[in-house]
Structure 1
Amino acid sequence: MTETDGTLDYWDTRHRQQDELASGGHIGLDRAGNELFYALRLGTLLGLVGDLSSPAAPLFVLDAGCGKGHFARALARCGHRVDAFDASEEAVDRARAAGGGPRYARARLDTWRSPWPYDIVVCVDVLFHLLDDTEWSAALRNLASLVRLTGRLILTDEDTPVPRARGDYILHRPTAAYRAALEPLGLRHTEFRPYRFREIEVGFHVFTRIR
């Protein structure tokens, strides 16, 4: 998540006090609503990632900002090799305790390093919590650096032409801002797939590395 001590305290507290769905889902939804919200996002994400892996050649996937590991565990159940990290110590501890196959670590979006590139890097409902533009840009650059040639960076935000703040800890940035940050790094915007869940306008932006 974000880097300031105050923000990390917020996420540590949220992961400690909220259940495994509300802590990384929609805090305004009840349990049934979050069950549906997670299922919808997961189904769309798995469709975007695809099923091209095999026991002999699994896809190598990174879940950046994994929270308590809900999506990371699902990706691992599909046979993918999954690394996952989050800046919240509380979230990572809970994810490790749940097990399920992924390798977990604590790191920020702009500091995670890997000795190998990933086929897929996913970052679900994290980047719009980075209010500082410098921090957001550094996170994007680092995530882009982790994607192999022809691999995909799958991240979530609204498909908006202008910045839109929602409350005190969400800033949706224009699709053009993502393209301006990522296209010079060799990633082309290839798809936007909205959640289509209630009033939420967020969806999956897919960037594919072409060089």
Structure 2
Amino acid sequence: MADGTLAPDGGPAPAPDDTAGGDGAFDYWDARHRDQDELASGGHIGLDRAGNELFYALRLGTLLGLVGDLTSPAAPLFVLDAGCGKGYFARALARCGHRVDAFDASEEALDRAHAAGGGPRYGRSRLDAWRSPWPYDIVLCVDVLFHLLDDAEWSAALRNLASLVRLTGRLIVTDEDTARPRARGDYILHRPTAAYRAVLEPLGLRHTEFRPYGFREIEVGFHVFTRIR
């Protein structure tokens, strides 16, 4: 379901997995993306429009600082936005000159992302199912992993995202920096930083930074893992 933009080597886009299922989790996100506007659906449902404008801008500014500006028209960074929702961050990264692949399991979200245009190539997939014939400089997953309540599903997703990162590339995921699991409501489970390290360090990724959002009472931030082998 990619849009035909050329791959880094001039070839076709990767073949995403189009078999993302229709279980209750997918139904929830389809309904949320259908019923909420482009910010609330992927932002904080407890914030008003102005609050979400600020929340998105703050996250984007922090993210761009982490990604850096090591790009040029001749050698853009190759970025994957995993669980992209309606494509806000994917479009922003594309505007900054990066070459962006993006996917989500929600067909409703992807319809809105395609309609907005803006440069990224979109596909439909689960986090544990996306495949690419080439590695990425940056793999990004914003405010998605802590919605996976099942530990096996979470681990499989994290392992797959790690497999897509090139040597010296970075995996940037968001969660709290906590020492113990924290459940919030019935659809969020924040896992300890040690749990992320336990999965990723044997795969050659070192935890190099945690940068909190610093927005109101939210304790989530960006965990940066760098592939060292």
Structure-1 separation of matches of 2:146 and 2:227: 22
The number of residues matched between the two structures is 207
**Offset at 1:193?**
0.1
**Offset at 1:74?**
0.1
- Determine the structure 1 residue equivalent to 2:26: 8
Structure-2 separation of matches of 1:138 and 1:6: 19
**Offset at 1:106?**
0.4
Secondary structure at 1:143's aligned position in 2?
helix
**Offset at 1:134?**
0.2
**Offset at 1:76?**
0.1
**Offset at 1:206?**
0.1
Residues 96-134 of structure 1, C-alpha deviations (whole Å, 9 max, x = no match): 110000000000000000010000000000000000000
Structure-2 separation of matches of 1:151 and 1:175: 20
**Offset at 1:161?**
0.1
Structure-2 separation of matches of 1:168 and 1:29: 19
Q: Say yes or no: does 1:48 pair with 2:62.
A: no
Structure-1 separation of matches of 2:175 and 2:217: 14
- Structure 1 unaligned residues grouped into runs of 5+: none
Residues 65-102 of structure 1, C-alpha deviations (whole Å, 9 max, x = no match): 00000000000000000000000010011101100000
Structure-2 separation of matches of 1:151 and 1:44: 18
**Offset at 1:158?**
0.1
Structure-2 separation of matches of 1:96 and 1:208: 30
- Determine the structure 2 residue equivalent to 1:87: 105
Structure-2 separation of matches of 1:85 and 1:91: 10
Structure-2 separation of matches of 1:25 and 1:189: 25
Coordinate RMSD, CA, aligned: 0.3
**Offset at 1:29?**
0.2
**Offset at 1:191?**
0.1
Structure-1 separation of matches of 2:24 and 2:201: 32
Secondary structure at 1:121's aligned position in 2?
strand
**Offset at 1:46?**
0.4
Secondary structure at 2:157's aligned position in 1?
helix
Structure-2 separation of matches of 1:41 and 1:162: 24
Residues 28-83 of structure 1, C-alpha deviations (whole Å, 9 max, x = no match): 00000000000000000000000110000000000000000000000000000000
- Determine the structure 1 residue equivalent to 2:130: 112
- Determine the structure 2 residue equivalent to 1:138: 156
Secondary structure at 1:142's aligned position in 2?
helix
Residues 122-178 of structure 1, C-alpha deviations (whole Å, 9 max, x = no match): 000000000000000000000000000000000000000000000010000000000
Q: Normalized against structure 1, the TM-score is what?
A: 0.98
Structure-2 separation of matches of 1:80 and 1:13: 30
